[in-house]
Amino acid sequence: MLGSVCKPSFSCIRLGNASNTSARHLEGTRPKLRIAAVKQTKLSKETKEVHESAVEEASAEDTPRKSASPSINLIPENGKWSNGIPPVMGAHLMPSGTVCPVSTSSGCGDGQPHVFQYREAEGEGTILQYGNPTQLSVGLARAIERASADAIKEKGSFTVALSGGSLPSLLTMLAGSGGIEFDKWTVFWVDERNVPLSREDSNYKLAMEAFLGRVGIPESQVIKLQEGLPVQQAAKAYEGAMLSLDRAVLPRDEDGLPVIDMVLLGVGPDGHVASLFPNAPQTANRSGSWILPVARSPKPPAERITMSMPVINAAKEVVVVAKGEGKAEIVQRALETQALPGAVPVQLVSPASGRLTWMVDAAAGSLLQPLDWEDRKAF
């Protein structure tokens, strides 16, 4: 059993100029995707007549179909119903030549559920597409400034979790912002490499050089990796540092997970977020641990620590950021193609009660086809 396959629905906004507050909404709301396997077979004349007779009894509707996007997997173009699904459930023939009956399956019952699970309920999200990386950087800075102001107004502090990779380079504009109360920030990392903080591949070093070292956040409020520990101990030490924070700064949800005000995620070409890689045990971990050790990362360096997926999804707001042509394929795959649970970890990002936003530049979003999102035939 694959378990639940609900994913967020999305609305898409394309922004031409970051300074222009008016945005053109593209028609179409992202439907939740269903896993489907479609097999084309050549029907014999006799079998085809049986099939056509069965479905024509329920509907004689003949609606022309619009052209399909080449980026989306389609049900074969051999139907004649407006939404691509005949009223006779099943939409394919059994070996006997009769139409497949309605499924009565109620799930895996007492069996073992799939180790990776999408949320039971469908969520919602927003996609913001900017004209270029500079506009993306401005838009991201504004979103962080807004989230910071809201959190400080509500509880007197702001918590944010940063990623590594190319994300810190998009945050340099924060250093010149005069409207942010940085002294009320507490900073975490969604993942960190278990290396000395002075090394070039340290996420801490990347963020410090990009903006953290110039904005005046008290050192005690920058929660960094404890150097020199085995990776299992490093994960426990980092979780302990988070647990020691006052609950007024870092509240807990009903499951005892931390409610971070804003989590900023990059996405890898394989769909990984933080250090949660495709089909890895850490990606499926629901033990209640906040921070997990990664001893054998498929990307160097091998040792890392990472926030768990439940911790990411407990956040008040999650922003997934992607820029450049190299991310176009995974952005399209993540948003428009339903993968098996765990195969594309970013598809598991779905805040339980928070807000989800994707921010991409034109190159990263170049393969998206939002005008097709209302077309059930296309999904």
Please indicate, yes or no, if residue 48 is contained in any of the structural domains: no
Which positions ≥6 away from 97 have C-beta within 8 Å? 46, 47, 50, 51
* Distance between CA atoms of residues 285 and 288, nearest Å: 8
Q: What is the pLDDT of residue 200?
A: 94
Tell whether omega for the bond before 269 is within 30 degrees of 0, i.e. cis: no
Joined together, the tokens standing for residue 220 give: 């005690």
**How many domains are there within the chain?**
1
Please indicate, yes or no, if residue 73 is contained in any of the structural domains: no
CA dist list (Å): 374 to 5, 15, 25, 80, 83: 18, 21, 14, 18, 10
How many CA atoms are closer than 13 Å to the CA of 30, on its beta-carbon side?
26
Please indicate, yes or no, if residue 19 is contained in any of the structural domains: yes
* Distance between CA atoms of residues 65 and 79, nearest Å: 9
Which residues of the chain carry a pLDDT beneath 50? 1-7, 18-48, 50-51, 54-76, 85, 88-90
CATH number of the domain where residue 240 is located = 3.40.50.1360
Q: Which among 73, 82, 78 is positioned nearest to 93, based on CA atoms?
A: 78
Please indicate, yes or no, if residue 90 is contained in any of the structural domains: no
**Rounded to 5°, angle at Cα 326 from 322 and 332:** 65
Please indicate, yes or no, if residue 119 is contained in any of the structural domains: no
Please indicate, yes or no, if residue 255 is contained in any of the structural domains: yes
User: Domain range for residue 214?
Assistant: 9-29+124-378
Please indicate, yes or no, if residue 152 is contained in any of the structural domains: yes
Q: What is the pLDDT of residue 371?
A: 82
Please indicate, yes or no, if residue 239 is contained in any of the structural domains: yes
Joined together, the tokens standing for residue 69 give: 């996007």
